[in-house]
Structure 1
Amino acid sequence: MYDGPVPDSRFPGLRRRGFLAAGGAAGLGALALTGCTGPAASDDAAGGGRPRRGGRLRAAFAGGGANETLDPHQAGLFADVARAKALFDKLADFGADLSARPRLAASWEPNAGLDRWTVKLRKASFHNGKPVTARDVLYSYRRIADPDKAFRAKASLEPLDLTASRAVDARTVAFVLKRPTAEFPNLLAAFGAYIVPDGTEDFTAPVGSGPFRFVSFAPGRSAVFRRHDDYWDGPPHLEHLEFLVANEESARLNALLGGQVEYAHELTPTTARAHEGKGQIEIIRLRNSAMQAFAMKTDRPPFDDRRVREAFFLLADRKELVQGALSGAGEIGNDLFGKGYEYYADGLPQRAPDLDRARHLLKQAGADGLRVTLDTSPVAAGFTESAAIFRDQAAKAGVRVKVAMGSKDSYWQDTLDSGTLCCYRSGAMPLESHFSQRLLTASTTNATHWRHKDFDALYQQAQSTRNTKDRAAVYARMQRRLYAEGGFLVWGFADWILGTARTVRGVDRRAPANTLDWARFDKVWLA
């Protein structure tokens, strides 16, 4: 069987270029339910039936062109992450509820102060037969944390004191932390925190500990991997896994419909409606994969007045936004991140439009006839549509919203510090990560400029609280505060849409994008 790159002539539909997976706040931004078992089969279309060994699955993703790499610490696009998780492993990864689940780590145990954690490694080996050891773990984390490099997981590993951390023995790592960190397992599961062999810098023919071995790689075109029979979590059902680059959604769809691929990543709601239940291909919706919101700058007029922020919460018709901007492919939000995730405050009343109350609050704040600019861009699905819909909704209460179109290339950086109101999106991550990366005074991606020392103190209290129930109570307090006066108007949670051939089995329908069981091909088979 041919193991090399696939010539373009075999897949003319895959030559089209143009669309890249969104980065920044929309990125990966980013998994099995237990440490040593695969995802449960869903219904007969996507999972179910007796697994069959063998075959080659071809998966189409948007890519990154000639600069693509198999260095897992540089993974940024969805295609990068899918390839990385096929070749490599992390110590932990995120389950469907965004809680950390063990992978290469067999266990983790803190000291009483939550600033020392002991991690025991399970028995696993790299593709060259060498065992995964504590030295490999420390090398990988120190490489990621290199101050001269810009690896994705660097910020997540910041709480670690990697100079003081050490290998106790071949399969035990003693981690020293700079401060109490109750959610330490989230560090192990951080996006991009893959374990590579000690000393590895060359990834032209990478050696990992993942379910598939490297065969070939043509950046911007294809990657071919082969089953790793000695994988610690059991060998994959597939013999070969092939990633193909198709940047435009239409190219991925046409390749799937034409039988040139068996898996197409990131399809549109329009495509889903056109093909769902028609029998030619299977449409799979990964619920709660992307938060859709408007971000209000809380440190400048008019949104430095909490009454104005509350008024804007009440201007939004979330059902109309989900239907219009997402074509119905999602669920309404309630001004909080992480619906369905661990620690999410699901007991708060669901907000509904209340134009009379909104007008009253605006009048109290001296903001009658308010005019505000809403920054948007075609950088992410639903942004321009949601901006237009919200403009019309706000007008019903006398608020004039001017929609300003920004650059796709610089939108995320432009809106981080400039403007007052912007469209915003985020991929899956634990609530703790959302707090630490976006809502603390020192957070580097604080798009709402929410900076409150008492809120910072609550976060530190949660991180110093060992008991999970007590920690959840602190997170609930933080969410009640954000619900009442925060800067994120979270109007929806978008589905992530995949397409597969009818012969594909074992795709987990429960896992949001960026969790372990998303784009996890070691448990997939061909009927």
Structure 2
Amino acid sequence: MTVHRRPRSLRTLTAMALAASLMGLAGCSSAGTPAADAGAASSPRAGGTLRVGIVGGSAKDSLDAHSPVTHPDEARAIQLYDTLASYDVDHKIQMSLADKITPSADAKTWTVHLRDGLKFSNGKPITADDVIFTFQRITDPKNPMAGATALSGLERDAMKAPDPQTIVFPFATAFATFPDIVTQYNAGIVPVGYDPKNPVSSGPFMTESFTPGQQSTFVKNPHYWRAGQPYLDKVTIIDFPDDTARVNALLGGQVDAIDQLPLGQVNVVKANPQLKVLESATGSWLPFTMRVDQAPFNDPKVREAFRLIVDRQQMVEQVLGGHGTVGNDMYAPFDACFPQDVPQRNQDIAKAKELLAEAGKSNLSVDLVTSAAAAGLVEAAQVFAQQAKAAGVTINVKKVDPGEFYGDQYLKWTFSQDFWFTRDYLPQTAASGFSTSPYNETHWDDKQWTDLVNQANATTDQATRCGIIQKAEQIEFDRGGYIIWGFPNSVDAYSSTVSRFTPDKSGIPLTSFTFRNVWLNK
């Protein structure tokens, strides 16, 4: 929950080009060093414990591979579970547990081949049966996980394993986005019989201890497949719902790195020779979410008025301190199909007032629920409340703690906010756009839009698919439930004793929470 020019992803290619590209990736860049690391301060050193302070967390914290919600959940999942493919720091797909991912000519069947010698943390081989179990668990109709909607076309009972290293994924229709979907951090591979309360790991670390709402400690997986990795012996992830406490922990040496450095503290950290700031341009976004099925936002005129209230440049300057880029109510700005010719929506108070009057909603008063669940959310709510006054709208900012924000009312607030990391358009729609999506925070359910997105998912020709996507994006621009005012840079901080954190376009903090890559110079 994602600024930069988006590199072309495998999703943008035809099925045959996908096959050639993916086969070309086989065995490449799997454990290599990104170019940005060429000037690292030292060669990798083994050992030590990395202590990381991460925003958010609550008593609902989880180790489940397939249902991460908060930043700490995501960080834990990335330590514990590897996916079939992964993103590099430029958000390009590379192979991970798989060494080949190959489509049929019509992209209705995808064949995945696993690397040789893969093992879980308990020493058991990672086989095709485990992969099939993983994706059947994700798509279980009785208990669908976060990635289920994206895989709605998977014929889950027809998956097969011709041999222990090969899995065949059949789909009811062409599915051009399969490589993107299996790269998502909520698609980690788990063993047959997986127990999320006592997880066996396919990733670089395995669980030593876990206290929900407080901290978790992970130790090196001795059977991890990447040679020499992880370099660290341990990683301790500490929940910090409070920004001040998180920054003070870094300044005081209680942690070695923190995510989401408050922008007001950037110069403080830069002035400390023992600390470093890590800033990455991203496609992440912090939307305002309007429930389209509840008053007053069930009226598209009200939704349009609220989008016209926002002074986007002021948002970027005041909320992000200039560390970001203005948005235009459309997500996935680095998707190859992103519409570049839609006129920028700017603040228009007169038009907003006119629309509210036509809707019979002049002098409207609305509660806006916010939380310090991600950097910038509370500040954005406060700035929006000030901007809305000019349109005669009263915004009552209701700040709750992250535990309540992501509690029983999550996805039910009438007017709220959220955060998203960098995704291409179609994977993002699967996560948040359909009535069946796990995070449909706006309760968006538009048949014309749904038909277009389903058509795009089944279209392998890039030019044709881009035309369909752009029609779908225009519908959301015109009548959707999001206000997307900008794309914040990811700004983190860490001790100079840590090496290998590099800029990363994913929007996931601290170089995608991939702590297997880093080492300690002490």
The TM-score range, normalised by the shorter chain, is 0.7 to 0.9
Aligned to 1:7: none
Q: Hey, what's the Cα distance between the residues in 1 that align with 2:44 and 2:89?
A: 25
Q: Hey, what's the Cα distance between the residues in 1 that align with 2:342 and 2:183?
A: 29
Report SS of the residue matched to 1:118. strand
CA positional deviation for 1:262: 2.3
Q: 1:208 aligns with which of 175, 185, 201?
A: 201
Q: 1:369 aligns with which of 353, 357, 362?
A: 362
Report SS of the residue matched to 2:339. coil
Question: In the TM superposition, what whole-angstrom CA distance separates every residue of 1:294-322 from its partner, at most 9, and x where no partner exists?
Answer: 23344566545545443433321112223
CA contact (8 A) 2:42 2:499 kept: no
1:326-341 equivalence runs, <5 A? 326-341=320-335
- Return the structure number with greater strand share: 1
CA contact (8 A) 2:138 2:147 kept: yes
CA positional deviation for 1:90: 0.9
Q: Hey, what's the Cα distance between the residues in 2 that align with 1:243 and 1:283?
A: 20
Q: 1:433 aligns with which of 411, 423, 427?
A: 427
Aligned to 1:462: 456
CA contact (8 A) 1:272 1:283 kept: yes
Aligned to 2:14: none
1:56 aligned partner, one-letter code: G
CA contact (8 A) 1:235 1:522 kept: no
Question: In the TM superposition, what whole-angstrom CA distance separates every residue of 1:46-72 from its partner, at most 9, and x where no partner exists?
Answer: x62442332314122347578766553
Q: Hey, what's the Cα distance between the residues in 2 that align with 1:442 and 1:203?
A: 26
CA contact (8 A) 1:462 1:475 kept: yes
Scaled by the length of structure 1, what TM-score is found?
A: 0.80
Alignment CA distance shift 1:294-1:207 (3 Å) = closer
Q: Hey, what's the Cα distance between the residues in 2 that align with 1:418 and 1:64?
A: 19
CA positional deviation for 1:367: 5.0
Segment of structure 1 superposing worse, 147-156 or 315-324: 147-156
2:50 aligned partner, one-letter code: R
Aligned to 1:493: 487
Q: Hey, what's the Cα distance between the residues in 2 that align with 1:384 and 1:237?
A: 36
Q: Hey, what's the Cα distance between the residues in 2 that align with 1:465 and 1:358?
A: 38
Q: Hey, what's the Cα distance between the residues in 2 that align with 1:195 and 1:366?
A: 50
Report SS of the residue matched to 1:132. coil
Question: In the TM superposition, what whole-angstrom CA distance separates every residue of 1:214-251 from its partner, at most 9, and x where no partner exists?
Answer: 473253444142364x6443322624132142524444
CA positional deviation for 1:135: 1.2
Q: Hey, what's the Cα distance between the residues in 1 that align with 2:60 and 2:366?
A: 37
CA contact (8 A) 2:258 2:493 kept: yes
Q: Hey, what's the Cα distance between the residues in 2 that align with 1:455 and 1:269?
A: 37
1:395-410 equivalence runs, <5 A? 395-396=389-390, 398-405=391-398, 407-408=400-401, 409-410=403-404
Alignment CA distance shift 1:296-1:208 (3 Å) = closer
CA positional deviation for 1:209: 3.5
Alignment CA distance shift 1:442-1:72 (3 Å) = closer
Q: 1:236 aligns with which of 229, 234, 258?
A: 229
Percentage identity across paired residues of the two chains: 28
Q: Are 2:484 and 1:481 aligned?
A: no
Question: In the TM superposition, what whole-angstrom CA distance separates every residue of 1:94-144 from its partner, at most 9, and x where no partner exists?
Answer: 455656443112222333443322112222421455442211211222334
Q: 1:53 aligns with which of 19, 24, 45?
A: 45
Pairwise CA RMSD: 3.6
Alignment CA distance shift 1:144-1:293 (3 Å) = closer
Q: Hey, what's the Cα distance between the residues in 2 that align with 1:302 and 1:149?
A: 32
Aligned to 1:78: 71
Report SS of the residue matched to 1:138. helix
Aligned to 1:122: 115
Aligned to 1:191: 185
Segment of structure 1 superposing worse, 165-174 or 245-254: 245-254
2:43 aligned partner, one-letter code: P
Q: Hey, what's the Cα distance between the residues in 2 that align with 1:411 and 1:40?
A: 37
Report SS of the residue matched to 2:227. coil
CA positional deviation for 1:287: 3.1
Alignment CA distance shift 1:367-1:279 (3 Å) = farther
CA contact (8 A) 1:343 1:475 kept: yes
Alignment CA distance shift 1:510-1:306 (3 Å) = same
Alignment CA distance shift 1:265-1:477 (3 Å) = same
Q: Are 2:272 and 1:296 aligned?
A: no
Aligned to 1:258: 252
* Structure 1 alignment gaps of length 5 or more: 1-24, 27-31
Scaled by the length of structure 2, what TM-score is found?
A: 0.81
1:318 aligned partner, one-letter code: R
2:86 aligned partner, one-letter code: D
CA contact (8 A) 1:60 1:252 kept: no
Alignment CA distance shift 1:260-1:107 (3 Å) = same
Q: Hey, what's the Cα distance between the residues in 2 that align with 1:68 and 1:303?
A: 31
Report SS of the residue matched to 1:256. helix
Report SS of the residue matched to 2:426. helix
CA contact (8 A) 2:310 2:388 kept: yes
- Return the structure number with greater helix share: 2
Segment of structure 1 superposing worse, 278-287 or 138-147: 138-147
Aligned to 2:13: none
1:403 aligned partner, one-letter code: N
Aligned to 1:3: none
1:285-324 equivalence runs, <5 A? 285-288=279-282, 290-299=284-293, 303-324=297-318
Q: Hey, what's the Cα distance between the residues in 1 that align with 2:246 and 2:298?
A: 45
Q: Are 2:168 and 1:174 aligned?
A: yes
Question: In the TM superposition, what whole-angstrom CA distance separates every residue of 1:304-363 from its partner, at most 9, and x where no partner exists?
Answer: 554544343332111222333344443321111123355433443333223344455556
Q: 1:378 aligns with which of 365, 371, 374?
A: 371
Alignment CA distance shift 1:232-1:353 (3 Å) = same
Question: In the TM superposition, what whole-angstrom CA distance separates every residue of 1:404-462 from its partner, at most 9, and x where no partner exists?
Answer: 5265455466474563x433433343321322343335545433343322211111110
Report SS of the residue matched to 1:58. strand
Q: Hey, what's the Cα distance between the residues in 2 that align with 1:104 and 1:434?
A: 23
Aligned to 2:270: 276
Report SS of the residue matched to 2:156. strand
1:37-116 equivalence runs, <5 A? 37-38=31-32, 40-42=34-36, 48-62=40-54, 70-73=63-66, 75-95=68-88, 100-116=93-109
Aligned to 1:225: 219
CA positional deviation for 1:373: 1.1
CA positional deviation for 1:372: 4.0
2:442 aligned partner, one-letter code: T
Q: Hey, what's the Cα distance between the residues in 2 that align with 1:175 and 1:100?
A: 19
CA contact (8 A) 1:70 1:203 kept: yes
CA positional deviation for 1:500: 1.1
CA contact (8 A) 1:295 1:448 kept: yes
Q: Hey, what's the Cα distance between the residues in 1 that align with 2:76 and 2:175?
A: 30
Q: Are 2:499 and 1:508 aligned?
A: no
Aligned to 2:131: 137
2:40 aligned partner, one-letter code: G
